Structure 1
Amino acid sequence: MNLSERDLLYNWHPYTQHKTAAIHPAIVKGKGALLWDEHGKEFIDAIASWWVNPFGHSNTVIAEAIYQQLTTLEHVLFGGFTHDKAVLLSEKLIPLLPSNQKKLFYSDNGSTAVEVALKGAFQYYYNKGIKKTKFIAFEDAFHGDTFGAMAASGITFYSEAFQGAMLEVTRIPVPTKGKETETLAQLQALVESKDYAAFIFEPLVLGAAGMVMYAPEVLDQMIAMCRAHDVFTIADEVMTGFGKTGKTFACDYLMHQPDMMCLSKALTGGTIPMAITSFSQEIYDGFYDNDVNKALFHGHTFTANPTGCAAALASIDLLLTPEMQNHISRIHLRHLDFETKIKNHPRVKTTRVLGVIFALEIRTDSEESYYGTLRNKLYHFFIEKGIILRPVANTIYVLPPYIITDTQLQNVYETIEKALEIV
């Protein structure tokens, strides 16, 4: 049996109905923006392996940082101890974040970063003797699969089996063009009720919803509205962070600063799972007390893993180089050129571009389900052509590694054009 066949014997894959799913290609090698399967077939990784790999596969700079760390200190518990890489990473990251972010809490992945933020907001008010147990989130948001993060997410089929067992979350429309007034009015009514601990949002781009985008100006108004009514704001930058929107963080487009930020995915350059939740001093001070019961009792075995921290340090250094910033600008301009070419195609309903993110919505006669027939047809078409893209319902998006070549990117665009002819 080959690897793909052996995989079926024991492995349960994420977001997969195995009874109807096709066999999974077995990837054995990666370099740059390319991956190869066990049969030697080449794929362009046009979504940076779920948005985590901005600097290319098998990046030698990050690999060397990991190797050096593994030969020095692979791991030490962070409960009761610290180490140089966690200190260095915090010192490097804090100046890059909004100026009100003062404390970093390490965890394992984007979902747990969100979980820590939700618990931080919830317990802050509990510590103060104030009952605020509800949250506000966008419709169609996605924040993760752990219970708190799942509750904050609005894509219902992910969470419908668990309704009644989660945090109470009120959803408001995404303030896309034309919906800003409706969204602001609903948020105003909610924050005035005094029941809500925090508003969690994906800043400017809702990734899993199909790269739905909205303007920084309306988000600024929403953050100001929350602050005026003592509702914390949580920016989930798990997808948007580390250059995806053209700036280091999507929050860099804002005038107002969130109280908390959630970071993961590209944090370690796609190498080692790690996440960070950042907090304002105000929130940290809500736990700083002689009473031990007011501490944030949350932790992970691999919290602030030194090897992950070493990878993150190397990853941030790479991101800030002029070469990498030029790559981000280059991809953005190529996306804009492709948008100009394709937006008037008869099968194209809308297009969207922000930073290295390009999204195209296909015109359909009926509403497409998230993992529906059209999506599956497109996904398998791209795989057959050697392009890794994961359409969302009738939306095709491209979010490539920053080091993708112009030739590879052109291949992706041309394959999308071909896909429009088969739908």
Structure 2
Amino acid sequence: MNATPDWYTKGRGHVWLPYTQMKTVRPALPVVSAEGVRLRLADGRELVDGISSWWATVHGYRHPHIEAAVRGQLETLPHVMLGGLAHEQAYVLARRLAGLLPGDLDHVFFSDSGSVAVEVAMKMAAQFWLNRGQRRVKFLCFRGGYHGDTFATMSVCDPDEGMHSLFKGALLEQVVVDLPRDAAQEAALGDVLAQHRGELAGIVVEPLVQGAGGMVFHDPFTLQALRRLADEHDLLLIFDEIFVGLGRLGDAMFACQIAGVQPDIVTLSKALTGGTLPLAATIASARIHDGFLSDDPLHALMHGPTYMGNALGCAAANASLDLFEREPRLAQAQAIGKALERMLAPLRDLPGVKDVRTRGAIGVVQLDRAAPADRLSAGCIERGVWLRPFRDILYTTPPLTIGEEDLGRIGSAMTAAIRDWSAGLGK
């Protein structure tokens, strides 16, 4: 088999890769097919995908139920605009998402990526107040947070430690604080909110796990405190569940259910279609939705991505929800978490390892310094596993369908890569 396909050789100089210094980047690995939890490379090697293509392929690659749903939809209606037209897949999906989420989170606005879903949530929150005659366009957000790469979402990411620190000063001004983790911190945050009364539209948070900002965990108390503070200071509470939503944490489909907190707006993407097609959703409560009802056309939410509610994506999402109903995804996530804790726990005692933590189907090894990403990644690839470290983190978020053998391979690869790196610290 040709290790360097012609399409790769001819196209490599024209593709600008994500989060990549193109001058020094190592050649990307050409993937020719994928099935289950494995990627097949052009040179014939197979890699276990330990991060589910950025947390999306929860059911594994090429699940036959999702493929059949997309194929059937392709034969009837691949796409139609939602401006003035309707199609079955979007309407069925909206109803199903409303039924899965708690309380009156009943109104679904579709888009095509997670960043846009969060942008829509922020726009909803700001315009909710504008429709009431109040100009409240800033947001409370948190250190360690990450919500996307578009300009508005960059502005509610961690301004110092995140990947967008280069743009500090050029983004929308927000109020950035630490997550409240006890009663004293909750009270202190209340004082901050009082100082910004009349400025803030809402609070934006990743519930229970801050993902790309550092895989930082927090307890339900934090979200319960934010709900109390939002109510006390008349703010809207936005949960960005793009990472953790749809089964990743194992205890429930959504983090808001685990915490027993209903936000005003929730965003979903990634696992929504099982990693098959791009689709995102911003789901609002009745109060938010009704705040846009008016005889004034300018009170409407003026947003509409061309491919919002794409029929193929919605068909994939409906099939993905079928699998959550029919197959034991939550139990699988719980089992993955227990196995990862068992496999990774011995790394806690190694020099250079700051922390090892797991939650649901998330396993994290945090180092005490910036991770040698290329070296750690290469060590895992040598052992048949695809992982992509960042900053001081080597982590895994495998497909929820992963088998015991392949999960063991991920644990072994992470262990070996960290041990090799740790052994060389004093040399």
With normalisation by structure 2, the TM-score equals 0.92
Q: Is 1:203 aligned to 2:202, yes or no?
A: no
Deviation at residue 141 of structure 1 after TM alignment: 0.9
Structure 2 alignment gaps of length 5 or more: 422-427
Say if 2:285 is the partner of 1:280.
yes
Whether the 8 Å CA contact 1:351–1:361 is kept in 2: the answer is yes
C-alpha RMSD of the superposition = 1.7
8 Å CA contact retained: 1:224, 1:256: no
1:422 aligned counterpart, secondary structure: helix
Alignment correspondent of 1:412: 410
Output the CA distance in 2 between the equivalents of 1:320 and 1:187: 39
Of the three residues 212, 228, 233, the one matched with 2:232 is 228
1:188 to 183, 187, 190: 190
Match of 2:245 in 1: 241
Q: Secondary structure at the match of 2:263?
A: coil
- Unaligned 5+ segments in structure 1 are none
* 8 A Cα contact 1:191 1:226, kept in partner: no
Once the two structures are TM-superposed, the CA of residue 397 in structure 1 deviates from its matched residue by 1.1
* Partner AA of 1:77 in structure 2: M
1:391 is aligned to: 389
Deviation at 1:324, TM superposition (A): 2.8
How far apart are the structure 2 equivalents of 1:357 and 1:99?
A: 27
1:329 aligns with 2:334: yes
- 1:41: how far off? 1.1
Distance in structure 2 (CA, Å) of the matches to 1:333 and 1:88 = 35
Report if aligned partners of 1:172, 1:186 keep a CA contact under 8 Å in 2: no
Residue 212 of structure 1: aligned partner: 216
- Looking at structure 2, the residues matched to 276 and 419 of structure 1 have their Cα atoms a distance apart, in angstroms, of 37
Equivalent pair of 2:345/2:356 in contact (CA under 8 Å): no
What per-residue deviation string (whole Å, max 9, x for no partner) do you get for residues 73-117 of structure 1?
A: 111110111111111111211111121302000001100000000
Instruction: Name 2:37's counterpart in structure 1.
Output: 33
1:290 to 288, 295, 301: 295
CA contact (8 A) 1:198 1:232 kept: yes
Question: How far off is 1:375 after superposition?
Answer: 2.4
Shift of 1:168: 1.7
Query: 1:344 and 1:38, CA in 2 relative to 1: closer, same or farther beyond 3 A?
Result: same
TM-aligned CA deviation for residue 329 of structure 1? 2.7
What is the aligned counterpart of 2:357 among 347, 352, 356?
352
- Please say if residues 261 and 279 of structure 1, whose CA atoms lie closer than 8 Å, have aligned partners that are also in contact: yes
Q: 1:168–1:347: structure 2 CA closer, same or farther, 3 Å change rule?
A: closer
Which amino acid is 2:254 matched to? F
Which shifted more, 47-56 or 325-334? 325-334
Asked whether 1:401 is paired with 2:399, we answer yes
CA apart distance, 1:198: 0.7
Aligned amino acid, residue 96 of structure 2: K
SS at match of 2:224: helix
Task: Return 327-336 or 34-43, whichever deviates more.
Answer: 327-336
The aligned length equals 413
* Contact 2:358/2:364, CA 8 A, preserved across alignment: yes
User: AA paired with 1:396?
Assistant: L
Instruction: Tell me, yes or no, if the aligned pair for 1:46 and 1:412 is still in contact at 8 Å.
Output: yes
C-alpha deviation, 1:384, in angstroms: 3.0
Letter in 1 for 2:408: Q
Partner of 2:269: 264
Name the SS of the counterpart of 1:136 in structure 2. Answer: strand
8 Å CA contact 2:239–2:263 kept in 1: the answer is yes
Q: Which moved more, 1:160-169 or 1:24-33?
A: 160-169
Q: What is the identity, as a one-letter code, of the residue corresponding to 1:385?
A: R
Q: 1:226 deviation in Å?
A: 1.1
Q: Could you tell me which amino acid in structure 2 is paired with residue 190 of structure 1? A: V
* 3-state SS in 2 of match to 1:90: helix
CA spacing shift, 1:270–1:296, aligned 2, 3 Å: same
Q: Find the counterpart in structure 1 of residue 11 from structure 2.
A: 7
Matched residue type, 2:290: D
- The C-alpha deviation readout for 1:225-283, integer Å capped at 9, x for no partner, is 11111111110000111101112011111222110000000000001100000001111
State the Cα distance separating 1:287 from its structure 2 match: 0.7
Q: Is the 8 A contact 2:239 2:266 kept in 1?
A: yes
What is the CA distance between 1:203 and its match in structure 2?
0.3
Residue 70 of structure 2 corresponds to 66
> What's the offset of the Cα at 1:307?
1.0
Kept in 1, the 8 Å contact 2:144–2:214? The answer is: no
Q: What does 1:246-257 correspond to in 2, within 5 Å?
A: 246=250, 247-257=252-262
